[in-house]
Amino acid sequence: MSLDAAQRARVLVEAIPYVRRFSGCVIVVKYGGSALSGEGGAAALERFAEDVALMRAVGMLPVVVHGGGPQIGELMTRLGKTPEFRDGQRVTDAETLDIARMVLVGKVNRDIVGALNVRGALAVGCSGEDAGLITAAERHPALGFVGDVVSVDANLPRHLLSEGLVPVVATIGADAAGQAYNINADTVAGALAEALSAEKLVFLTDVAGVRGDPADPSSVVRSTTAEVLDELVASGVVAGGMVPKARACAHAVRNGVRSAHVLDGRVPHALLLELLSDEGIGTMVVGA
């Protein structure tokens, strides 16, 4: 539905205090690989890039962290390799790790960087292996080269931000010996937001937010605390792919990030609606 001139003016006026408040603030945005795959992926990326470009134009400091699970699975299938999962986690042998690096660093990262550059938000792609950004360790021998974040050295993204650039981070990390690991992008986004003392951590996903009742799409919790989120995870109300997001949100707001958000990235300009409007559209998590 199109807006008339008066409605457009009201939208702009409503955004003014938020623009003032968040100018100069770091906003870490996790953009899921699912948003880039399938029908409509190109259009969704275009809208996302427009949102990030506007954020940068009004003085915000966006940092993009991305996944790429669907794309990794697609390439594995094309190469005749059958993906294997254990407890919902991809088993990553040496060949699968090579595929993940190619997809995340060589394809998905470049697609996002290109889309941002076209829209005037000059972006630089990197991975956790660059400049020691993410130090990782093996999660479990049975999972192969799946890693957990040990530490984050945020000097690289800080430098890029200081130069007016948008860092776009692929979630491959390395240990002290240089061994690479594929790391859950939700976990990386949370750790990076903490290391950068971000104002906000935003997860763009394929549901409207955290649900109070998993079976009821209308039960989205609009505002909650880290403590309540922990209870929802412990009780099984929050399950599946939402668990790492919920844990990352709770951990981040307990460690210096002012608020964390989970919202439906399929909604056109969801990022701007959440950041620059009174009501927002997703779930907001605060420390207390």
Position 1 scores a pLDDT of 47
List all residues 6 or more positions away from 287 whose beta carbon is below 8 Å from its beta carbon: 225, 226, 253, 254
Q: What confidence category does residue 121 fall into, taking pLDDT thresholds of 50, 70 and 90? A: very high
Count of residues in the chain: 288
| pLDDT above 90: residue 119 | yes
Confidence at residue 206, expressed as pLDDT on a 0 to 100 scale? 83
Least confident of 32-36, 37-41, 89-93, 107-111: 37-41
Instruction: Please state the rounded mean pLDDT for residues 195-202.
Output: 97
Q: How far apart are CA 51 and CA 113, in angstroms?
A: 14
Banded pLDDT at 2 (limits 50, 70, 90): low
Q: Are 116 and 49 in contact (CB under 8 A)?
A: yes
- Mean of the per-residue pLDDT values of the chain: 91
Checking if the pLDDT of 108 tops 70, the result is: yes
Ordered domains of the chain (ranges, CATH): 23-198 (3.40.1160.10), 208-288 (no CATH)
Between 113 and 90, the more confident residue is 113
- Using an 8 Å Cβ cutoff, are 261 and 201 in contact? yes
Residue 95, pLDDT above cutoff 90? yes
Mean pLDDT of 130-141: 96
Average pLDDT of the residues in 30-40: 70
Residue type at 280 in one-letter notation:
G
